[in-house]
A and B are shown apart, each in its own frame.
Chain A
Amino acid sequence: MNNHVRQLRSELGWSQADLAQRLDVSRQTINAIETGKYDPSLPLAFKLARLFDRAIETIFEPGEE
């Protein structure tokens, strides 16, 4: 799965640590999501969508299988 988390975060001027604190997860988890090494659960993806005020499908999209 591909995502635009890094880009959206940068637009808001937040560091990974800032975003991690807002989502109550570790900074390493944010890094793993941004680098595509970990796909978040639906609840966490929805939290991200709410935080960025975007529809979830504009943040995450299917990658190559």
Chain B
Amino acid sequence: MSKSMPMRRSYRRYYREFFPAMGAYVLFMLFAWPYLGHVQAPALKAVLALLPVVPVALVIRAMVRLVLASDELEQRTHLVGLAVATAVVGVLSLAVGFLAAARVLDLDGTILLWVFPVLMVVYAAGRAWANRRYGVDGFCTDESAVRAWQFLLAGGVLLLVAWLGNGHMKDYQVGMLAGMGCSWVAAAGVLAVRRWQRARRRDAGEQD
């Protein structure tokens, strides 16, 4: 058998479920959400406002299915990541909530939109920390791998949309797309270098 391992079925299913749902969310937020202000009927407004929750729920479903199909070490690192995220977001929410209650901060309900993204970022950081403890390079595992060229392609598409939308879209939308595109291109570079380093180590016989 070859040294490289094909992506496991659970990960293939995860990416098959994750990317379309995330794509639908991004498209909705970029192209449909800005028109919400023009809708007058409260019922229709509520339905439109709740629509982005559907793809996010599908993303969460994909993540749950992935965790359930993970092996025992992966499940342990997921647990550490979730524990860290729960603790950090819980303490942050309490702190911000108390500051708002004391009228030190003037916040409205839209602050709640940040809870899920912050949870995901801290979860990823917590899992990366747990992975390091077990000697796992979480950024370029065999299965969790989105290939460098896929990052590059996604980044290129985002930059192209930003360039085409310049003048038609609002500045913050163009800026967000350009920022995301640059991040993905940078991630492709980091991923390519890490994989090259790992391949070199493997060729030198350090891994197997």
Residues of A bordering B, CB below 8 Å: 14-18, 20-21, 24-29, 31-32, 35, 37-38, 40-41, 44
Query: Shortest CB–CB separation between residue B17 and chain A, in angstroms?
Result: 19
Cα–Cα distance between A26 and B71 once the two chains are bound (Å) = 7
Q: How many A-B residue pairs have CB under 8 A?
A: 61
Cα–Cα distance between A16 and B142 once the two chains are bound (Å) = 11
User: Is the CB–CB distance between A17 and B135 below 8 Å?
Assistant: no
User: Is the CB–CB distance between B72 and A21 below 8 Å?
Assistant: no
Query: Shortest CB–CB separation between residue B81 and chain A, in angstroms?
Result: 15
Cα–Cα distance between A32 and B74 once the two chains are bound (Å) = 11
Name the residue on A nearest B142 (C-beta): A27
CB-CB under 8 A for A26 and B2, given A16-B207, A31-B207: no
B207 CB contacts on chain A under 8 angstroms: 16, 31
User: Is the CB–CB distance between A29 and B74 below 8 Å?
Assistant: yes
User: Is the CB–CB distance between A44 and B72 below 8 Å?
Assistant: yes
Cα–Cα distance between A24 and B72 once the two chains are bound (Å) = 10
Cα–Cα distance between A38 and B134 once the two chains are bound (Å) = 6
Query: Shortest CB–CB separation between residue B15 and chain A, in angstroms?
Result: 15
For the complex with contacts A35-B135, A44-B72, 12 further pairs of A-B residues with Cβ separation under 8 Å are A15-B3, A17-B4, A20-B5, A24-B71, A26-B73, A26-B141, A26-B143, A27-B142, A28-B136, A32-B73, A38-B134, A40-B72
- The verdict on B106 contacting chain A, using a C-beta distance below 8 Å, is no
Cα–Cα distance between A18 and B136 once the two chains are bound (Å) = 18
- The verdict on B38 contacting chain A, using a C-beta distance below 8 Å, is no
Which of B4, B74, B133, B141 makes the CB contact (< 8 A) with A37? B133
User: Is the CB–CB distance between B5 and A38 below 8 Å?
Assistant: no
User: Is the CB–CB distance between A29 and B1 below 8 Å?
Assistant: no
B71 CB contacts on chain A under 8 angstroms: 24-26, 29
User: Is the CB–CB distance between B73 and A38 below 8 Å?
Assistant: yes
Q: Mark B133-152, 1 if CB is under 8 A from A, else 0.
A: 11111000111000000000
